[in-house]
Amino acid sequence: RDKDIRQQYGRQFVDGIYTCWPLFVLLYRSTNIDDKLLILTLLTKTFIIDSRLLIAHEQFDHVSQMYLSLLIDKQLNLTFKTRLLDLLPFFASLDT
């Protein structure tokens, strides 16, 4: 049942999240690690639902820049960076 729901509504949901991505800029530029963790969790969940949608989405540049900015953020702890690196294979395997 969950798989059917993801297939039916997942793509629309993920598209909506990516379309609104520029609105999240304050969260991932925040000094609060909880805000950044929220963004990381949201991105992870969108990849679980449909990892291919981001590649062709108009917000791809915004999302990838956010990912890179979090990756090089020296204020983030090792636990956060480890979770962030879990998404690296997705970005590293892109053929754009």
- Per the document, the length of the chain is 96
Residue 89 CB coordination number (10 Å) = 8
pTM of the model: 0.83
What's the pLDDT tens digit per position in 60-91? 999 999 999 999 999 999 999 999 999 998 88
- For the chain, how many structural domains are there in total? 1
User: Domain containing 19: what range?
Assistant: 2-92
- Distance of alpha carbon 73 from alpha carbon 67, whole angstroms: 10
What's the pLDDT tens digit per position in 19-69? 999 999 999 889 999 999 999 999 999 998 888 888 889 999 999 999 999
Q: 40 in helix, strand or coil? A: helix
The two tokens of residue 41 are 């969790």
